[in-house]
Copies of this chain bind each other. A is one copy, B any other.
Amino acid sequence: MPKKKISIEDVAQRAKVSITTVSRVINNVPTVSDKNRAKVEEAIAALKFKPNVSAQRLARGVNNAIGLVMPGYPGIFHSYYAIELIRGVGHACETHRMDMVFHITDGNNPINSNNVDGIIFADIIENRKQVDAAMAGGTPVLIINNRVDDMEINYVAIDNFEGGRIVAEYLTGFGHERIATITGKLTTQSGHHRFEGFKQYLESHNGGIPPQYVIEGDYSRRSARLAAEDFLKLDERPTAIFAASDDMALEAIAVLLEKGLRVPEDISVIGFDDNPACLFGPVALTTVRQPLFQMAEQAVKVLVDAINKKNEGHVQQVLTPEIVVRETCCPPQK
């Protein structure tokens, strides 16, 4: 610390009390006389005293910090998802008076857990061994945005399966029968689950989904563009398209408009994410909102409880997404 070295002792001296008393007022311990408290507060203000965080942590045996580690593969940072997570975790840490130590990883080096009380892994892409290592070291760990049902581990995730299902339900509710989808990358859990939920609903309510109506995307705009173009070449064009992300939905809409089609009159489109960009296109995008921010806050809460050993075993939570109705879906026009 580059601060001048005013310690608790200087404050005690000036206030003519013991350092214990000073410590007490710092920590809001009630058993301090008003008179002494006032004196100490005066001294603290006069001396501009700031407690030394490291000393506090050492004495308390706590780090007062949680780590947030995110996979660093290209692109993750340009997703709405990552940003909301960071915001949410940051906010929650604030309310828990914890430092948030942020860490981007390539998945290789083990995460240093000496400086934190617990770690939140945002998704686990190729870095499961980091999770294992942290757990082996005895550090409380939580995975966010990924369900890991085969392991005894804390997680908080979105129910992407349900997300896909409600989209199918919503679209068939309008009377659509030719419903296509541009999926997310199917090797990701989100992509896989969204598609499965979607497909299974259609199978039991719409006679299934023909293969030419399913194109695997990878969450990139380019993949959506290609997929949309392919759909338009079909003899029987779909009347509705479900894109597994807003970015893809927006790109699909761009393609449709370029070809002179109308959205939603000619083709309905629905996305997934509730990315703010939804509002800024030519038509406000109907989509599925994932409670990302809340997920992050919830994650911190669970982890903090785990750190304080307030949990029994591990806690696994799934949050439910919901449809946000805007302007890009309507009944199929005859």
Contacts and interface: CB of A to CB of B under 8 A. Distances in A.
A78 B83 CA distance: 7
B114 A53 contact: yes
Nearest to A84: B77
Chain multiplicity (copies)? 2
A325 interface: no
A87 interface: yes
A321 interface: no
A192 interface: no
Interface in A169-212: none
B307 A282 contact: no
A222 interface: yes
Nearest to A78: B276
Interface string A94-117: 100001111110000000011101
A313 interface: no
A288 to B, nearest CB: 18
Interface stretch (A16-24, A54-62, A120-128, A149-157): A54-62
Interface residues of A, number: 64
A316 interface: no
B222 A280 contact: yes
A4 B54 CA distance: 19
A63 interface: yes
Interface string A31-73: 0000000000000000010111111011001110100100010
Interface of A: 1-4, 48, 50-55, 57-58, 61-63, 65, 68, 72, 74-75, 77-78, 80, 82-84, 86-87, 90-91, 94, 99-104, 113-115, 117-118, 137-140, 220-222, 225, 251, 254, 257-258, 275-277, 279-282, 307, 309
